[in-house]
């Protein structure tokens, strides 16, 4: 089976982890600080703060911006559940607005219509590695005095008009095993705001600035040096990984016939976390996916249920109709595009998809 994702672990990752083990400095320390420097440099921002996961990074970013009970945060229903859950963790309410049919990202026109006096932040998700419209969203945020927290978990290295994901607002990345760069588990917050950075650092470590003196309630969301060592080694590979994903996506775009292929909009640097295709309306996705899997082509469905349709979420946001997100959830599936695909893998994917 050609897997939908395959974490790359090379000699550098193994040696880096061994070096940490031998150093005796296993918990958060210099290696975490080095990973933070690498992310700040990549995004061109002042601060990067490492945490245990993308989920905890989202949670801290929202708290650090003062999001809490009584606030509303506008986001997309077509995302991994961590995005809206992080809003719920703060006590705030997610407000879901529908997506655009070509990028699957939140529709800026609908974002502006959803603003109320309680709206505090916009949480756009750069889904599949294609950024949201970062002309429109920051303009809306500025007009209404809102914060932007970019969920860039799938978009490390992505750009909008040459500017990096994670540099438009406060950014959040995930280093989960299948993400474009990984550390097994891990998360990163990027920001130019000194106060936000300071609060994230405090919240990540029990509200502690001076040992055993606590400024407030905090968490243990610290990343370990072991995880950071993998992440630093992966950052050295990011340019190569992205180039391979782009080449694989270009091949699939050029050769796939029986499905609608995704395309990057002009001015957007897509990093192809997923290569997600659409079966024509009325065609049976489950049958197509089963046929591909039978033929050795791995697939993924990101995501089969839009966030507003989960029962627990429905009890909070009510019965919403968001047709573009619901249609995407019913019709899309993803094909392998990861850097470890061979030419033979690509040819097999094309052959099998074109049989559908």
Judged by CB under 6 A, the residue of 35, 39, 73, 80 near ligand PLP is: 80
209 is catalytic: no
Q: Which is nearer to ligand PLP, 108 or 187 (CB)?
A: 187
Closest CA to 308 of 153, 136, 106: 106
307, 313 contact by CB (below 8 A): yes
Which residues are within 8 A (CB) of 282 and not within 5 positions of it... i.e. 6 or more apart? none
Q: Judged by CB under 6 A, which stretch of 87-95, 148-156, 275-283, 324-332 contacts ligand PLP?
A: 148-156
Q: Which is nearer to ligand PLP, 25 or 177 (CB)?
A: 177
Q: Which is nearer to ligand PLP, 124 or 288 (CB)?
A: 124
Q: Which is nearer to ligand PLP, 82 or 111 (CB)?
A: 82
Both tokens of residue 208?
């502690």
77 lines the binding site for ligand PLP (CB under 6 A): no
CB of 134 to ligand PLP, least distance (A): 16
187 lines the binding site for ligand PLP (CB under 6 A): yes
**Interacting positions 162-181 with ligand PLP (CB under 6 A):** 174, 176
The single residue of 179, 209, 309, 355 carrying the catalytic annotation is 179
Q: Judged by CB under 6 A, which stretch of 11-19, 49-57, 108-116, 140-148 contacts ligand PLP?
A: 49-57
Output the residue with the shortest Cβ distance to ligand PLP: 54
Hey, what's the torsion of the CAs at 128, 130, 131, 136, to 10 degrees?
-120
Judged by CB under 6 A, the residue of 54, 108, 129, 166 near ligand PLP is: 54
Rounded distance between C-alpha atoms, residue 30 and residue 53, angstroms: 19
- Secondary structure class of 12 (helix, strand, coil): helix
Q: Which is nearer to ligand PLP, 54 or 300 (CB)?
A: 54
CB of 292 to ligand PLP, least distance (A): 22
Closest CA to 133 of 174, 94, 170, 100: 100
Rounded distance between C-alpha atoms, residue 26 and residue 17, angstroms: 10
Judged by CB under 6 A, the residue of 13, 112, 150, 151 near ligand PLP is: 151
Rounded distance between C-alpha atoms, residue 124 and residue 312, angstroms: 22
207-221 as b/e: b if 16+ CB within 10 A: eeeeeeeeeeebbeb
Q: Judged by CB under 6 A, which stretch of 31-39, 62-70, 76-84, 257-265 contacts ligand PLP?
A: 76-84
Q: Which is nearer to ligand PLP, 82 or 322 (CB)?
A: 82
Q: Judged by CB under 6 A, which stretch of 48-56, 240-248, 256-264, 309-317 contacts ligand PLP?
A: 48-56
Q: Which is nearer to ligand PLP, 176 or 272 (CB)?
A: 176
28 secondary structure, DSSP code? S
CB of 176 to ligand PLP, least distance (A): 4
133 lines the binding site for ligand PLP (CB under 6 A): no
Compute CA distances 112 → 83, 136, 206, 237, 254, whole Å. 19, 10, 36, 38, 36
Which residues are within 8 A (CB) of 355 and not within 5 positions of it... i.e. 6 or more apart? 258, 291, 295
Total interface residues for ligand PLP by CB under 6 A: 14
Backbone dihedral region of 296: left (phi > 0), alpha (psi from -120 to 50 degrees) or beta? left
Which residues are within 8 A (CB) of 42 and not within 5 positions of it... i.e. 6 or more apart? 156, 157, 164, 166, 235, 238
Judged by CB under 6 A, the residue of 62, 137, 141, 153 near ligand PLP is: 153
Burial of 113 (0-12, 13-18, 19+ CB in 10 A): exposed
Judged by CB under 6 A, the residue of 28, 53, 75, 90 near ligand PLP is: 53
200, 60 contact by CB (below 8 A): yes
Residue holding tokens 């047709």? 323
Judged by CB under 6 A, the residue of 16, 82, 92, 329 near ligand PLP is: 82
CB of 193 to ligand PLP, least distance (A): 21
Residues found near ligand PLP in the complex (CB under 6 A): 53-55, 79-80, 82-83, 125, 151, 153-154, 174, 176, 187
- Catalytic residue set: 179
């Amino acid at each position: 089976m050609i897997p939908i994702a395959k974490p790359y672990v090379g000699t550098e990752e193994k040696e880096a982890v061994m070096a940490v083990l031998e150093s005796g400095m296993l918990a958060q320390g210099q290696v975490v600080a080095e990973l933070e420097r690498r992310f700040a440099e990549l995004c061109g921002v002042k601060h990067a703060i490492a945490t245990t996961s993308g989920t905890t990074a989202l949670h801290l970013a929202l708290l650090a911006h003062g999001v809490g009970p009584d606030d509303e945060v506008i986001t997309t229903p077509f995302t991994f559940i961590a995005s809206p859950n992080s809003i719920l963790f703060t006590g705030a309410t997610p407000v879901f607005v529908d997506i655009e049919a070509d990028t699957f990202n939140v529709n800026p026109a609908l974002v502006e219509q959803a603003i109320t006096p309680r709206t505090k932040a916009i949480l756009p998700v750069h889904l599949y590695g294609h950024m949201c419209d970062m002309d429109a969203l920051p303009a809306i945020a500025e007009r209404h005095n809102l914060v932007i927290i970019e969920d860039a978990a799938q978009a490390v290295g992505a750009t909008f008009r040459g500017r990096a994901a994670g540099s438009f607002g406060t950014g959040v990345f995930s280093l989960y095993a299948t993400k474009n760069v990984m550390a097994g588990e891990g998360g990163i917050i990027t920001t130019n705001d000194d106060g936000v950075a300071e609060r994230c650092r405090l919240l990540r470590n029990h509200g502690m600035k001076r040992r055993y003196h606590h400024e407030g309630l905090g968490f243990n969301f610290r990343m370990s040096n072991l995880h950071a060592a993998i992440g630093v080694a992966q950052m050295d590979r990011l340019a190569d990984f992205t180039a391979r994903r782009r080449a694989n996506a270009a091949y699939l775009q050029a050769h796939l016939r029986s499905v609608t292929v995704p395309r990057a909009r002009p001015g957007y640097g897509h990093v192809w976390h997923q290569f997600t295709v659409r079966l024509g309306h009325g065609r049976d996705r489950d049958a197509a996916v089963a046929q591909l899997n039978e033929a050795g082509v791995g697939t993924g469905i990101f995501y089969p249920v839009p966030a507003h349709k989960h029962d627990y979420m429905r009890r909070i946001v009510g019965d919403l109709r968001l047709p573009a997100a619901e249609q995407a959830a019913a019709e899309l599936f993803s094909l392998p595009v990861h850097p470890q695909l061979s030419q033979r893998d690509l040819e097999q994917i094309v052959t099998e998809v074109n049989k559908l």
